[in-house]
Amino acid sequence: MIKSGRALIFRALLCFVLFMLVLLMLMMPQSGLAVDAAMQLPHLRIVYGAEQALPDGTVLLPLEIHCENVPGNYRRVNLSVVTVGVASLPAFGPSVKQTKPLVYRSIPVIRTGDKWTIQLCTGLPRSFAVRVQAQSAASGKTIYLTAETNCFIFGRKRGAKAEFKADALPPAWFSGLDMSIDPPFYYWPQTETPFQVTVRLRGRVLPKTALTVFDGSFPPASYLTDSAGRIAYVPPDDPKLNRLSEKAAKQVFLVSAYKEGNDLFVATRTLRLHRNRLSHFQSDMGMALFGATATITGGTVIWARRRRRRA
């Protein structure tokens, strides 16, 4: 009887452990094949270069367009309909809501050998939304590649005048896969700040679509969008980034893909994230409080000992 009771308890515990393992696997982001597939997809990526402060106070931000896994020996030559659009965003904060459609204006691509670059330049503090799209056609199939990012440039030119605006692109110029984020990170995006990503194709949301996050500090993670085409994500606190300067930033890439007939749509979005200011403020305040407490305590002990010796 005792042995059979122990066997029943052991089986119950084993079932409970297996149940918890399955539950944890379901709760964890998808990985493995989904991540490997996302890494091998043809795609464009926007990669931030180093900001340059010019003598007149204007700030130049180069953005490189990286092309990966596109068929052909010279991959960029096989791309067609390459268009880059830039739109001005509200200057500050999540409290500012974008109620009107963004007006994208064409910006040239600088081609130096195998390197493609666009240059954003401003004398005023300004936020930009950047979109790149291109196509690759082969064997009756068309691949639509898009890349997006939002960025802030803190221009310092005194008395800067309104800058020249290129002709606006038509509203329907962007026909690829779109990954919008909310809040849109107009200014100083940080780790530990939650946001939502919505995947759309020509205005319609795409449920049950894979989205993979590539953050060099952590293993890649893949998610599926919900019925509204969204996933919620919180960039984790990054000890490596925390050890750098306050203004340091890292680049995180989001990748999503959707197939429709013979057409494949692949989109990426680049996030440039800084360390979380609130966490560091709390940490710095805690260290300061500890230091002040230790100083006061030590001073009080020394003063009390000296007083006893005099007595």
Cβ-contact 51, 153 below 8 angstroms: yes
pLDDT value of position 30: 44
Q: Which pLDDT tens digit goes with each residue over 252-302?
A: 999 999 999 989 999 999 999 999 877 644 444 444 444 445 455 555 556
Mean predicted confidence (pLDDT) in 219-230: 95
Q: Which residue has the higher pLDDT, 184 or 44?
A: 44
pLDDT value, residue 246: 85
More confident residue, 169 or 33: 169
Q: Say whether pLDDT at 205 is over 80.
A: yes
Contacts of residue 130, defined as CB under 8 A and 6 or more positions apart, other chains included, come to 46, 63, 84, 85, 86, 118, 120, 148, 149, 150, 151
Among 201, 234, 208, smallest CA distance to 223 is for 208
Predicted local confidence at residue 275, as pLDDT: 93
Q: Encode pLDDT of 123-181 as tens digits.
A: 888 889 999 999 988 778 889 999 999 998 888 777 666 667 888 999 889 989 999 99
Predicted local distance difference test score (pLDDT) of residue 154? 83
Residue 231 pLDDT level (bands cut at 50, 70, 90)? very high
Q: CB–CB of 46/69 below 8 Å?
A: no
pLDDT for res 40: 80
